[in-house]
Amino acid sequence: MVSTNGVYYYILVHGYSSSSAFQLGLTCSTPPPPNPTSITATSNTICVGQSTTLTANGASGTVYWFTGGCGVGQIATGNSIIVTPTSTTTYYARNFNGSLFSNNCVFTTITVNPTPSISVTPVTNTICDGSSTQLVTTVSGLPAGSTPTYSWTPSTGLTNPSAPSPFASPRTTQSYQVSVSFNGCSNATSTTINVNPSVGFVSTVSGNNTIIAGTQETYSITHIIVTGK
């Protein structure tokens, strides 16, 4: 029986056949501290590389933290700890006081979502004014079948600023940035498309239209350069 401080307990003795004295033996031991009541996290869902703070409520004495189970795989001590898990992890908190652990732990699970790794490779980095190129985005580090969202800025000259690999037709050299998001985790990268002015050549040829066979004639060719709009 676990007694409570300040409470009177009575022992009833009956059926004793002798009138001589007898003895009663009582053993007192320090009870374990109470269990923590709960764990509060600043965020129960984070992205890879992010941190969250765990706080044990109902702490008594020193709080021990574990990840392998209650009392297994100790990682820290203290009422509050900062953790940066790389994958979804369950954390256990247990009170330690008077050289005794509480009977049980409380626990919470921190869900860790992946951050997409992205790269953009234009089909060509240099185009002429009036031409286009495709901005091909490659995404890795997400679960198979994932459907991240894409956002391109600026949208100038793009066929679809929400497409994974839109076509770009800027009139002047332009840098584009794409942000890729999945389950609240995002990453961004950029690329630059160089635009050269389009050039057309119009030539005029001057000289005799009729010559005598076996003779030579000199012709003059004039180039007219027309720049892009």
Q: What is the DSSP string of 160-194?
A: -TTSSS-EE--SS-EEEEEEEEETTEEEEEEEEEE
From the list 149, 171, 172, 173, the residue with the least C-alpha distance to 161 is 149
pLDDT for 18 equals: 64
From the list 59, 183, 184, 52, the residue with the least C-alpha distance to 108 is 52
* Type of residue at 31: P
Beta bridge partners of 195: 127
Is residue 66 over pLDDT 70? yes
Number of Cβ within a 10 Å radius of residue 197: 12
- Radius of gyration of the chain from Cα atoms? 40
pLDDT, mean of residues 219-227? 63
Is residue 229 over pLDDT 50? no
pLDDT for 29 equals: 78
Range with lowest mean pLDDT among 5-19, 29-43, 124-138, 157-171: 5-19
Please say whether the beta carbons of 143 and 114 come within 8 A.
yes
Higher pLDDT, 200 or 133: 133
Is residue 72 over pLDDT 70? yes
Highest mean pLDDT among 5-14, 22-31, 108-117, 215-224: 108-117
pLDDT for 56 equals: 98
Q: How far is 195 from 175, CA to CA, in rounded Å? A: 11
pLDDT for 60 equals: 95
Higher pLDDT, 201 or 86: 86
Number of Cβ within a 10 Å radius of residue 193: 21
Please say whether the beta carbons of 55 and 39 come within 8 A.
yes
Is residue 116 over pLDDT 90? yes
